[in-house]
Each structure stands twice: as C-alpha cells, then as structure tokens.
Chain A
C-alpha cells in the first residue's frame, strides 16, 4: 500500500514537472529557430530603410514605425477608457447592481470574440459608419476619414484590448485597503476626492500592468488591422491620423502568402519576425520601466 502511494506520488511529480519542461522546450524552440535564422540577415540597413517594391529586398523601417505608432495610439485610447470604466464599476456603481452585471458580461463577451471579428467590426463601425459620417459632416463627402487608416486600426485594437485593461485596473482598485478609503472619508473627503487622491495613486501600478498586457496583445494582432488600416506596401511613412501604415505582423503575413518566390523572401521573413518580437519586447520593457519608476516614487513618499 505505502509503496503504491509512493509510486503514484513520484509519477505525479514527474508528470507535472514534464509539463513545465514542455513549456520551456516550446519557447526555446520557437525563439531559437527565429534567432538562428533571423539574425544573419539583420543589419542596420534592414531596420532603417524601406522595402523595395517586391518586398524581398530592402528593409522594414516603415513597418517598425507603423507598429510603434499603432501601439502607442492604441494605448492612448484604451488606457483612459478602460481605467474610467473600471473606476465606475468598482468605486461608483452600487454593489450587485444590474448595470454592473451587464457590463461585466459584455466585457467577458468582448474578451471571447475572435480577433478577425474585431477587424470586421472595426471596418463597419469605425471606417464606414464613423469615418463615413465624419466625411459627410465635415468634408463634404470627400473621402478623408471614411477609409482604412491608422486611427481606426488603433481604435479597433483598443476595443480588442479593453477587457484586459479593465480587469487589471479593477484588480488594482480591489487591492487598495478599505481602511484607506475609510480614513479619507473620515477626513471629510467626497467620493471623487477619495478616488482621485487616495485610490488612483495607489493603483497606478496595476493600471500600467493593464497597459503592458494590452501592448503585448495589441502589438501581435494582425486580423483586426487587416481591413481597418494596414497597407501591403507604402513608399512613405504615415504622418496623419487618416494615413494607412505598414505593420510588422501584417508584413509577415504578406511575405508569407503574397510572395511569388518563397525561398527568396525566407531570410527577410525570419528577420521580420525577429524584429517583431524585439519591438514587442521593447514596448513591454518601456512600460515596465515606467511602472517601476512610478512605484519607486510612490514608495519614497
């Protein structure tokens, strides 16, 4: 009996450990393969120049630029909206209210929607409806905002990442001790003063965690920007909100599927994927550094 239990125990330890090893192996293989094949073709020229028309030569600078611009725009849109929603849900709405329940249900649904559906949704709501409406109202029907562009792509990604930001912010709000709120109320604070002076400063870290997760998610998505703004090839960089743009993930898709000579584009493809991972990592790192800076400043006071 006791021997049997020992065997089961050892087997269980082995199985759970093996699962962890499998994860490590997968990540190592993916990263190793990309690094191995992506590194040789990398050069300053590759990351700083535009591709030639057939995409197999030249660099990918417009795609890097477009990705960073897209993600920054998305962050600017999603963080205030997500934080505001979370603050209402957690600080203002009466607990157990029907409205809160419905909003949470909506968020869960939003998180479960396939990303290609967001792409179509963005095309319908932002490009056609909003953009088209703006054109009719302000530009006399001339095609200005009623076309795929970086603004609509960023907003589509913002909708996609909204649940992430709301959930992370709510988590942070929940972590603020009740006693802090009570102490502030007892000092004659109104509800918004409690939120503004006590609760929000304490939850900045969590909000930025939400932003970081949103960046990670948003930077890698291709489907939502497919119809809402990403361009196959552009000779110039986007300079206005209603410009189209190149993007690394989309560029990878294009290189893989649209090239007549797969072997010729392979080195470019590998290096592009390498750069995509690198850019995502750097965007994350930037957000993490901002967060730790803010946390340090909070701890000092």
Chain B
C-alpha cells in the first residue's frame, strides 16, 4: 500500500538553525500517528512542514521531499492554500477568530469559494467535535464567549468544515482540563474512520491512548516509529525508553 504522506530525507532550517535533520517517515491513510518528543525536538516543525504552514516564516528552508498523494508539496506550482484545505490544522492554543460561532465555522468553506447552505455540514462538524449539544442554540453568539475547552473543539469543528483528508493536531489539548481533553480524544477516535490524523503531543500517555502508531523525535531526528504498543512496551532505542518512562525531557 502506498502511503498517503511520505517524508523522504526531509530537513528544515529556520535561518541557520536546523530544526529537522534527514527525516524519512510514512503516514498511512486512515491511521492516527502520534508524535512525541521533548521540547525543540522538531515535532511542530514536522507537522507544519506537511501543509506548508512554515511558508510564512521568513528564512525557512527545506531539503528533501514531502510527498502527498504522489506529489512533492514543495515542488513547482503547488498551491499552498489548496494544500492546507486538504491537510487541516488545529493549533495548541485555541484561536477563535473575531465573529460568531457560525461565522467561524463558515470561514473555511468561504475561503474555498463555496457558497450556499452550510447548516447541515456545520451540524455534522460540531457533532464530530463533540460540541453540538453545547452550542446548537447559540450559533450566532461570539465565539469568544465559549470556554477554553469549547473554543478548542470549535477550532476542531472549524477545521472539519474543510472536510480535510488529513488532520494535523499540534498539542491540541495542552491548555485544557482533563474533561475537555477526554472529549477531544473521543472525537479523534470517531474521526479516524474518515480522516488520517497526525497528533503531536507533549503528553506521552495521550499518544498511548489514541495513536495507532507513534513516532519519537529527538533533536530534529526521527529516533524511531512503530506501532504504539511496540514503542511503549519494547522500543528499539534506549533513548525512547528513557523518554517514555520520564527519565528526561
């Protein structure tokens, strides 16, 4: 089976500072890939390289390839905006944009040039993000009136409005209470039937709960990647074991 997304000897720099060094990794359709590692291991750079979010970063350079459906995303003539619609992203800090809940949800389809009725898809996206029951009667209230956990689920629903093929999550639960975290994890479990998920997390236990496969990054390198159970129970590398058991990081 050809992978949906593939990194081939991919390196990235911010100016002179290397952030990723020669990473090769496959992401398969329909899986949840957990990405763990200490701070500054390159996890976020890895994630943001997949949908070219780092294009906006001055001085960002890459080498090697990121191949999505057989196309090098850093090749000539690739439309970054269209790519980001297919590879939707949710950030560590919830970023509701000014406007109502409804307006937030409508943004993605509107950017994509879609007109017409979005209500059905909104209900579906909100349900998938486990937020529908809490906001169904207040869609036209400002998004800022939601709690932090609700805002993050709104951001998830807003990304789902794009019907992305891949969902890129950058520590989506880092600022949330355990209950909100549980809601989001539940949502991810339901979503894996229709999207591929890449979940960067600082919480090792979250990876063990949610991920089908787990990748461990350290110092810009991919140390190892395999089925989550194997990474957690009998990792090939001692550093992986040390990190998972909390001996550093």
Contact = CB atoms under 8 A, between A and B. Distances in A.
A180 B84 contact: no
A57 B82 CA distance: 70
Given A95-B58, A186-B159, A190-B111, A301 B88 contact: no
Interface stretch (A78-86, A153-161, A195-203): A195-203
Interface string B97-110: 11110010001101
A139 interface: no
Given A300-B142, A301-B142, A185 B56 contact: yes
Nearest to A94: B58
B93 interface: yes
A159 B192 CA distance: 58
Given A186-B159, A187-B158, A201 B98 contact: yes
29 contacts: A95-B58, A180-B97, A180-B98, A181-B56, A182-B56, A183-B91, A183-B97, A184-B107, A184-B111, A185-B53, A186-B84, A186-B91, A187-B84, A187-B88, A187-B107, A187-B111, A187-B158, A187-B162, A188-B81, A188-B84, A188-B108, A188-B111, A188-B112, A190-B111, A193-B111, A197-B110, A198-B97, A300-B142, A301-B142
Nearest to A188: B85
A301 to B, nearest CB: 5
Contacts of A183: 91, 95, 97, 155
- Interface magnitude class on chain A: 20 to 34
B108 A187 contact: yes
Nearest to A300: B142
Contacts of B58: 94-96
Interface of A: 94-96, 179-190, 193, 197-198, 201-202, 298, 300-301
B28 to A, nearest CB: 23
Contacts of B197: none
A183 B152 CA distance: 12
A202 B98 contact: yes
Interface string B101-129: 00100011011100000000000000000
Nearest to B88: A186
Contacts, number: 70
Interface in B194-221: none
A95 B60 CA distance: 13
Nearest to A181: B56
Nearest to A183: B95
B107 A197 contact: yes
Interface residues of B, number: 29
Contacts of A298: 98
B89 interface: yes
Contacts of B103: 301
A186 B111 contact: no
Interface string B37-79: 0000000000000010100101000000000000000000000
Contacts of A187: 84-85, 88, 107-108, 111, 158-159, 162
B162 A188 contact: yes
Contacts of B81: 185, 188-190, 193
Contacts of A180: 95, 97-98
A301 B99 CA distance: 4
A182 B157 CA distance: 17
A189 B97 contact: no
A94 B91 CA distance: 25
B89 to A, nearest CB: 4
B111 A189 contact: yes
Contacts of A96: 58
Contacts of B95: 179-180, 182-183
Contacts of B85: 187-188
Nearest to A95: B58
A91 to B, nearest CB: 11
Contacts of B155: 183
B104 to A, nearest CB: 9
B159 A182 contact: no
